[in-house]
Amino acid sequence: MVYLLLISLATHLAQATNAFLINDNAQEIPRAYHGHWFSYENGVGSSALVYEHTFGNLELVDKFTHKNDYNYNGFFDGVNSTMLMKVREGQHTCFYCVDVLMRTDNILQYRKSDCFTNNGGINMCPGKDQVPAVDQLATLFRLTVTTVNCMSTFDGVYQFAFEQEMGAGGICNNPDSTIEACKNPGSPYVDNEVFLMKYAKCSNVSTSTNHTVRYQCMGTWSAMVGPVSYTFAAVADTVERETRKRFKCLMTVKNQKSPDNSIRWVMSEFADCSKLKSLDNGPVRLTLQPKIQHCNSIPPGIDALVG
Ligand SMILES: *[C@@H]1O[C@H](CO)[C@@H](O)[C@H](O)[C@H]1NC(C)=O
Ligand SMILES: *[C@@H]1O[C@H](CO)[C@@H](O)[C@H](O)[C@H]1NC(C)=O
Ligand SMILES: *[C@@H]1O[C@H](CO)[C@@H](O)[C@H](O)[C@H]1NC(C)=O
């Protein structure tokens, strides 16, 4: 009797856990993916709307939800999945395997297979057993950015040197170039959800100018590139109107332990993470130096200076 009760209890628990893991309808695209997204791949920008059954022009056929790595403390919404999708193309139907990794509330990365014409079911999708590596993924940036804290991206005040890969004449290292990621009680933002990147002109780098960019944070994630574990971050320029330039991808390595405490990052020019290959190889290379001056020594009202 007790035995039976235990079995029934165990079954109950298993069901409860299952229901919990698959809180989304099995036949719908995960809710966390819904929205309006932008990507910039191979020089082409495009946007896609994701709803319950459609991902851009693709229609959901079947879905496999990858097991979650984390304990979500009762909240479960971020999921990786492999989906079988289809689209009618002329006379025939094209099927695609689409693997989606949810990196942050604002960032999805995905791989789409080539078209195949027979519906062999979700088991045909190799991503079900092995999620794609970073170099196989394209990045989607959420067009209406969900607020996230910047702390995992930048926290505090840094001086920075920068160098652009394409035709911009070497390293600009002005002591007045700073990144300021501070809690600012004087600003309309409750917490540090934005940071400032203040570029100061270098007389020896003709393309450099004095200007300030205010970036909104879109979250961070980590991923292996070859044998190295990198931390990635995405940000949105709060005033840039050209969408491909509005979103940037950044990459660093935690705990670099350089003798002078400097922290290296690489940054993209466009809404594209695929150009970040290593800390030496990316469209913009940044070297940050933590400043003695802390957030609280920045005079209030600094926001008013941002143009
Ligand atoms: C999604 O997959 C990536 C790559 O394997 C992994 O790092 C990440 O933790 C996964 N996310 C979740 C929520 O399981
Ligand atoms: C410009 O000057 C800075 C500071 O002296 C130096 O670090 C940097 O390498 C110089 N850049 C070029 C392109 O000469
Ligand atoms: C850039 O800012 C510095 C410091 O405020 C100032 O001295 C310099 O004249 C400015 N340069 C330009 C080109 O505006």
pLDDT, tens only, 96-142: 999 999 999 999 999 999 999 988 899 999 999 999 999 999 999 99
Which pLDDT belongs to residue 91?
87
- pLDDT tens for 230-278 read 999 999 999 999 999 999 999 999 999 999 999 999 999 999 999 999 9
Tell me, what DSSP letter sits at residue 31?
Answer: G
Question: Does residue 51 share a domain with residue 160?
Answer: no
Q: Read off φ and ψ for residue 102, nearest 5 degrees.
A: -90, 115
Q: How far is the CA of 241 from the centre of ligand 1 (A)?
A: 32
Give the nearest ligand 2 atom to 171 CA.
11
Q: Answer yes or no: is 8 within a domain.
A: no
Which pLDDT belongs to residue 295?
78
State whether the beta carbon of 212 lies less than 6 angstroms from ligand 3. Answer: no
Question: Does residue 160 share a domain with residue 106?
Answer: no
Question: Does residue 166 share a domain with residue 114?
Answer: no
Question: Does residue 222 share a domain with residue 132?
Answer: no
Give the nearest ligand 1 atom to 221 CA.
7
The domain total for the chain is 2
Q: Which two tokens stand for residue 239?
A: 């005033």
Q: Answer yes or no: is 151 within a domain.
A: no
Q: Answer yes or no: is 257 within a domain.
A: yes
Question: Does residue 205 share a domain with residue 101?
Answer: no
For β-strands 228-237 and 81-89, DSSP reports them as: unpaired
Beta bridge partners of 138: 110
- pLDDT tens for 48-86 read 999 999 999 999 999 998 877 655 554 444 589 999 999
Q: What percent of the chain has pLDDT over 70?
A: 81
Which pLDDT belongs to residue 9?
37
The answer on pLDDT for 166 being more than 90 is no
When the pLDDT of each residue in the chain is averaged and rounded to a whole number, the result is: 85
Burial class of residue 120 (count of CB atoms within 10 Å of its CB; 0-12, 13-18, 19+)? exposed
Using most ligand atoms within 8 A of CB, pick from 201, 202, 209 the residue to mutate for ligand 3. Answer: 201
Tell me, what DSSP letter sits at residue 66?
Answer: P
Using most ligand atoms within 8 A of CB, pick from 172, 177, 198, 210 the residue to mutate for ligand 3. Answer: 210
Question: Does residue 116 share a domain with residue 178?
Answer: no
* Domain final position from 142, 167, 195: 142
pTM: 0.86
Question: Does residue 186 share a domain with residue 124?
Answer: no
Q: Answer yes or no: is 16 within a domain.
A: no
Domain hosting 91: range is 24-142
Q: How far is the CA of 159 from the centre of ligand 3 (A)?
A: 17
State whether the beta carbon of 107 lies less than 6 angstroms from ligand 1. Answer: no
Question: Does residue 261 share a domain with residue 295?
Answer: yes
Q: Answer yes or no: is 1 within a domain.
A: no
Question: Does residue 175 share a domain with residue 136?
Answer: no
Question: Does residue 126 share a domain with residue 192?
Answer: no
Q: Answer yes or no: is 150 within a domain.
A: no
Q: Distance (Å, rounded) from C-alpha 301 to C-alpha 8?
A: 63
Question: Does residue 286 share a domain with residue 264?
Answer: yes
* Domain final position from 110, 142, 174: 142
Mean pLDDT for 25-52 is 93
Q: Answer yes or no: is 9 within a domain.
A: no
Closest residue by Cα to residue 184 from 305, 12, 15: 305
Q: Among all chains, which residue has been given the structure tokens 């926290």?
A: 155
Per the model's pLDDT, the better-predicted residue between 9 and 231 turns out to be 231
Question: Does residue 289 share a domain with residue 172?
Answer: yes
State whether the beta carbon of 229 lies less than 6 angstroms from ligand 1. Answer: no
Which pLDDT belongs to residue 226?
86
- Give the residue, by CA position, lying nearest to ligand 2 atom 10: 171
